[in-house]
Amino acid sequence: MDRLTNTVRPYAWGSTTAIPHLIGAEPTGEPQAEMWMGAHPGAPSRTGRGPLNEVIDQAPERELGPQAVAKFGPRLPFLLKILAAGAPLSLQVHPDLAQAKEGYEAEERAGVPIDAPHRNYKDANHKPELICALTPFEGLCGFRAPEEAARLIEGLGVDSLKPYADLLRAHPEEAALREVLTAVLSADPAEMAATVTEAEAAAERLGGDYVPYAGLAHHYPGDPGVIAAMLLNHVRLNPGEALFLGAGVPHAYIDGLGVEIMANSDNVLRCGLTPKHVDVPELLRIVRFEATDPGILRPEASPDGEEVYETPIDEFRLSRYTLPEGAAAHDVTTETPQILLCTAGTVRAGELDLTAGQSAFVPAGEKTEVSGAGTLFRATVVA
């Protein structure tokens, strides 16, 4: 078992206090957005044996187990994070596996540099993800029903938004959502900026259901993503609740601290709330234009005390142990690789003591028991 030393990413939207508070450190005054745990080459966790990606590369079957290697190849198929949103993230969507392979190969053939700001596909993998709230957490997830979105937009009383409400009522669901998102993202930038400014003033005046959108407009003045966000479900998670975000589902995180796990990919197509590249035609190819229930997940408890967040994919499996003082140890040995993350209290994992924010990599098959008094998240794969 390896204790992990992890990189914290200072993205501009990150909270300046949430991660320091979790790990018991003094804030630096700089944003601390994500702590990465895993073998992603962009910021691999460090172990006493070297960077985790290099440790795995040297002996993939020993570290990952033959079942995981046979199913996912010789790499850790997930990335675990602590995510701390102090400001809204970009409105975005992820491709499915076939779309990612097709998009990646097309950009490779076209000779688009992998680090080009307009490149959409950094790899050929999909990026399903799960976010589990550690604090009250706010986000956007999936399309509202068109009629509901029309009422919300119309309620602002902004004349330039009325055509969008009319479109949402004039067509069947898929066509209505597609036409309005296309119109919003293709609008004249100056005209849209004026509309968003007027919408922000109306949202601030109305309050209530409009408060989140006033906040988005405050952080991203004039951005068409503010109007696009009104097409989506606004979601609040209590600690312990989670959201699963599959391919084609538009989403954004607004505020809060959570544990996030995803397939090991960087593929993101942005819809707005960002100064970065927005490829509207490719985005429209990837988005699933269907109204959905956000589907808040609550963990399902097993007899041994493990609480599992069930998802329909195999690249990751996230679960949680809430360990009371003096309880018997839990055997978490498995034939697949694991990352164990403590988020509260002190947990004994094998020979390591983990406090909040500390984590460990457990190679496949290594005998491991956990005990103590605290909360432990367990990330592994289904192989």
Catalytically active residues are 270
Determine the Cα–Cα distance for residues 289 and 177; give it in Å rounded to an integer: 6
CB 250 within 8 Å of CB 235: no
3-state secondary structure of 170: helix
Cα–Cα nearest to 337, from 132, 82, 75: 75
3-state secondary structure of 335: coil
Determine the Cα–Cα distance for residues 339 and 211; give it in Å rounded to an integer: 38
**Does an H or E element contain 284, and which?**
helix 280-286
Quote the tokens at residue 112.
Answer: 């688009």
Determine the Cα–Cα distance for residues 164 and 168; give it in Å rounded to an integer: 6
List, in sequence order, every beta strand (DSSP E) within 240-336.
242-245, 251-263, 269-272, 300-301, 307-309, 317-323, 330-331
Determine the Cα–Cα distance for residues 235 and 141; give it in Å rounded to an integer: 7
3-state secondary structure of 332: coil
